[in-house]
Structure 1
Amino acid sequence: MNILLLGAGGREHALAWKIAQSPLTSALFIAPGNAGTALCGTNVAVNPTDFEAVKNLCVSNGIDMVIVGPEEPLVKGIYDFFAADADLKTIPVIGPSGEAAMLEGSKAFAKRFMNRHNIPTAGYKEFDNENYTEGVSYLTEHSLPIVLKADGLAAGKGVIIAQNHVEAMAEFELMLQQAKFGDAGKKVVVEEFLRGVELSVFVLTDGKDYLILPEAKDYKKIGIGDTGLNTGGMGAVSPVPFADELFMKKVKERIIEPTIKGLQQDQLDYKGFVFIGLISVDNEPYVIEYNCRLGDPETEVVLPRIKNDLVEIFDAVAKTKLKDIKLEIDERAAATVMAVSGGYPGNYETGFEIDGLDVLNEDDVLVFHAGTTVDGEKILTKGGRVLTVTAYGAGIPEAVRRALKILEFISFEGMYYRKDIGFEFKHGEEN
């Protein structure tokens, strides 16, 4: 099977690494890919949102399946583009339709979906410039803190947690009247603040049946102890110790099953990943958000724990035969630590050579490239998040220690990483 994988980050390298292991894979193309994906297949300089270029790539290389990594092509309707094209309609796309992808593409769409299908989530109201005055009144009476979310895709920056009413009003005005987030902020969702511990649950569905993948917890803050600015993710761990059998039973019954049934009832075409961002409030799960793809860097701990042939699973999704698949999960913990460019998530420079990638001699340790590129014999930095090191362990602390040990041998100018990933699970997790 000739497979095309769209994307260029750490998620895509992890996917490429897993896809390349399958005996069902004849050839793997990654568009545009990075220095890491080049080790697993053939990188092609095609923008995933240039659908005509993607079509030409598929036709010229006899592609049999397309796997979509990032959200933007999905929200822009790549699934529908393939379905409507005579030359492409027989090629399965692993990912939802454009309408279904609005679960990620529009916060308001997602909240209405959750309310319609009685899925537990924070209370909310949505506002735009037409009911701006009503929104101001609503904010003045809202309990603190107040969560404001830009409705559309805002590159992970569209969520503001205001600690007082003055800050909330200022952000509300900036988002709606000053276009702080551009078109993404033409509508604003105002939510109640939920206090608890977050985790990510991943589901793969063929539109009828589903598999629950290993859960994960990521770390968004740049600084030690979850301090400082938000990033795209500084690391992740799996499994999540507090997500025990009872908690996951609640997640399955109250969230996953209503979500899958809701997609069917609303006649939303969905063959792909459903990322469910959850928060545990006194051991009760609530949905914070949906994403229509795998998370990053969670992918780098979730996929290494799946023993199955991933291409066989994707083929079952395409053929609506997911009920025939039984997941096999590695019982070991996995942890990944992200190395980032100096200055990230603010201003940073790229183009620095990465040293030490050839000294990896630990068993069961993986390096996934995120923002890298090849320049002759050198591998250079090409983004804020540069690479992750994933390691297995008997528990989370051991896995983190092994990942950090490898990072000591890798270097590039300005390199920074958090040394406390999984910090809240340091004690009692070694067995």
Structure 2
Amino acid sequence: MTILLLGSGGREHALAWKMLQSPLCTQLLVAPGNAGTAQIATNLSINPTDFKAVKNAVLEHRVNMVVVGPEDPLVAGIVDFFQSDEQLQNIPVIGPSAYGAQLEGSKEFAKEFMVRHQIPTAAYQSFHADTVEQGCRFLETLTPPYVLKADGLAAGKGVLIMHDLEEAQNELRQMLVHAKFGQASSKVVIEEFLDGIELSCFVLTDGKNYQLLPTAKDYKRIGEGDTGLNTGGMGAISPVPFADAAFMQKVEQQIVIPTVNGLYAEKINYKGFIFIGLINVDGNPKVIEYNVRMGDPETEVVIPRLENDLVALFQAIAEQKLNEISIHTNPQTAATVVVVSGGYPEDYQKGKEITGFDKVEDSMVFHAGTKEQNGQILSNGGRVLAVTSFGDSIQEAIKKSYQNIAKLHFDTMYFRKDIGLDLLI
């Protein structure tokens, strides 16, 4: 079949790499893609939220399935667009409806969903610009640190954690009154702080049945020791050592099953990935957030460990037959380290030539922010590359990734040197 994959990051390169291993995939189109996807598939210069352009491409190339990588097209309603169009309604789209995508698109929606279905999460309250001073008083009732979350999509940067009350109150005013994160922070959720170790759980659902994918732990802060500003992700490890069978049984029983059953009970059209951001609090899982797509850079460690035919899984989702498939996973550890442009997540430069790809051995290099120009691969974003390696231990996998990063070069390149080290303690 001909498949259209929407997106342009490391997640999409990893998904493309995996889908092309399937005999079911005869042609893969990626819109807009990057220099990495261009080497293995056909890139289309289309914005994934330009649904008219997506439709034209689907009809022109006789696309049989659409896989949505990022959250923006899902929140904007691409699934609903296809289902309401006579020419597109029989083409499966892997992803939830716009209503279902509110699990990520609105922190308040997600919190209310969890409360309805008794899914363990942090206590919270929501505030608008006209209730900002009530929000400031609510902060005074909490024990620090203080957690502020922009309600809408903020590219992974809309969550602030502060230890100082006055700073938290000032940031709340910046978010609500001065639109620090634009429309995304027109509403802010204030949560109690949960103290524990974070991890990510990934679920595939056809709207009724589900399958669990491997767990992963990502590293969001720009600086070593988890310091500095939040980013879209600086690296990831899979599996997570502390997520043993007993813990994962709690995750499945207390979180995954109530989530999937809740979607089904509320008749929410949801066929795709559910990314559940969790925290392990004294051996008990609680939900920090939902995402309605795979994470990045978690995809770059989860998908390589998946031994199933990914396209066959997508087909089972479309036909609501996911219960007929068993998930098979490589038992080795996968580690990915993200290489970014100097200055990221603030101001950074693009257009730097990247060299050394031909010297990489025994690792996978997934492109994130790259483009090809006159035969050269250039940096074209904040997060540029993700280098993924397998090992029989976390140490071995990490070592391979760092050895191969040393062979790559572009001006101002930066990466964290402590990915996974906290899991060795």
Counterparts of 1:357 and 1:25 in 2: how far apart (Å)? Answer: 26
| Equivalent residue letter for 1:291 | N
| Equivalent residue letter for 1:370 | A
Counterparts of 1:350 and 1:27 in 2: how far apart (Å)? Answer: 31
Q: Report the secondary structure of 1:95's partner residue.
A: strand
The yes-or-no answer on 1:401 pairing with 2:399 is: yes
Counterpart of 2:60 in structure 1 is: 60
Counterpart of 1:148 in structure 2 is: 148
Counterpart of 2:373 in structure 1 is: 375
Counterparts of 1:238 and 1:56 in 2: how far apart (Å)? Answer: 38
| Equivalent residue letter for 2:307 | K
CA contact (8 A) 1:218 1:236 kept: yes
1:29-44 to 2 correspondences below 5 Å: 29-44=29-44
Counterparts of 1:255 and 1:361 in 2: how far apart (Å)? Answer: 39
Counterparts of 1:168 and 1:424 in 2: how far apart (Å)? Answer: 28
1:6-405 to 2 correspondences below 5 Å: 6-362=6-362, 365-405=363-403
| Equivalent residue letter for 2:418 | D
Q: 1:261 deviation in Å?
A: 0.5
| Equivalent residue letter for 2:68 | V
Q: 1:56 deviation in Å?
A: 0.1
| Equivalent residue letter for 1:147 | V
CA contact (8 A) 2:219 2:234 kept: yes
Counterparts of 2:202 and 2:211 in 1: how far apart (Å)? Answer: 9
Counterparts of 2:424 and 2:154 in 1: how far apart (Å)? Answer: 34
Counterparts of 1:305 and 1:133 in 2: how far apart (Å)? Answer: 48
Counterparts of 2:315 and 2:95 in 1: how far apart (Å)? Answer: 13
Counterparts of 1:186 and 1:361 in 2: how far apart (Å)? Answer: 47
Q: Report the secondary structure of 2:96's partner residue.
A: coil
| Equivalent residue letter for 2:392 | A
Q: 1:131 deviation in Å?
A: 2.9
| Equivalent residue letter for 2:201 | V
The yes-or-no answer on 1:3 pairing with 2:8 is: no
Q: Report the secondary structure of 2:387's partner residue.
A: strand
Q: Report the secondary structure of 1:252's partner residue.
A: helix
Q: Report the secondary structure of 1:36's partner residue.
A: helix
Q: Report the secondary structure of 2:342's partner residue.
A: coil
CA contact (8 A) 1:223 1:229 kept: yes
Q: 1:322 deviation in Å?
A: 0.4
Counterparts of 1:7 and 1:199 in 2: how far apart (Å)? Answer: 24
Counterparts of 1:23 and 1:197 in 2: how far apart (Å)? Answer: 39
Counterparts of 1:162 and 1:403 in 2: how far apart (Å)? Answer: 33
Counterparts of 1:155 and 1:125 in 2: how far apart (Å)? Answer: 22
Counterparts of 1:134 and 1:419 in 2: how far apart (Å)? Answer: 42
How big is each residue's C-alpha offset from its partner over 1:286-328, in whole Å with a ceiling of 9 and x where there is no partner?
A: 0000000000000000000011110011000000000111111
CA contact (8 A) 2:199 2:279 kept: yes
Counterpart of 2:408 in structure 1 is: 410
Q: Report the secondary structure of 1:337's partner residue.
A: strand
Q: Identity across aligned pairs (percent)?
A: 58
Counterparts of 1:40 and 1:97 in 2: how far apart (Å)? Answer: 29
Counterparts of 1:419 and 1:145 in 2: how far apart (Å)? Answer: 27
Shifted more, 118-127 versus 163-172: the winner is 163-172
- Structure 1 moving runs of 4+ over 4 Å: none
The Cα RMSD (Å) is 0.9
| Equivalent residue letter for 2:65 | M
CA contact (8 A) 2:148 2:161 kept: yes
Q: Report the secondary structure of 2:414's partner residue.
A: coil
Q: 1:229 deviation in Å?
A: 1.6
Please, which runs of 5 or more residues in structure 2 have no aligned partner?
A: none
How big is each residue's C-alpha offset from its partner over 1:176-196, in whole Å with a ceiling of 9 and x where there is no partner?
A: 111111111111111000011
Counterparts of 1:407 and 1:131 in 2: how far apart (Å)? Answer: 48
Q: Report the secondary structure of 1:271's partner residue.
A: strand
| Equivalent residue letter for 2:174 | L
CA contact (8 A) 1:92 1:318 kept: yes
- Structure 2-normalised TM-score? 0.99
Q: 1:361 deviation in Å?
A: 3.1
Q: When the two structures are aligned, how many residues end up with a matched partner? A: 425
Q: 1:222 deviation in Å?
A: 1.3
Q: Report the secondary structure of 2:87's partner residue.
A: coil
Q: 1:14 deviation in Å?
A: 0.1
CA contact (8 A) 2:157 2:232 kept: no
CA contact (8 A) 2:29 2:43 kept: yes
Counterparts of 2:135 and 2:381 in 1: how far apart (Å)? Answer: 38
How big is each residue's C-alpha offset from its partner over 1:338-383, in whole Å with a ceiling of 9 and x where there is no partner?
A: 1111111111101011000112233xx2110000000121100000
Counterpart of 2:424 in structure 1 is: 426
| Equivalent residue letter for 1:403 | S
Q: 1:132 deviation in Å?
A: 3.0
Counterparts of 2:421 and 2:246 in 1: how far apart (Å)? Answer: 24
CA contact (8 A) 1:6 1:67 kept: yes
- Structure 1-normalised TM-score? 0.97
| Equivalent residue letter for 2:141 | E
CA contact (8 A) 2:122 2:192 kept: yes
Q: 1:142 deviation in Å?
A: 2.0
Q: Report the secondary structure of 1:90's partner residue.
A: coil
CA contact (8 A) 1:397 1:425 kept: no
CA contact (8 A) 1:225 1:423 kept: no
Counterparts of 2:53 and 2:220 in 1: how far apart (Å)? Answer: 34
Shifted more, 366-375 versus 142-151: the winner is 142-151
Counterparts of 1:32 and 1:309 in 2: how far apart (Å)? Answer: 24
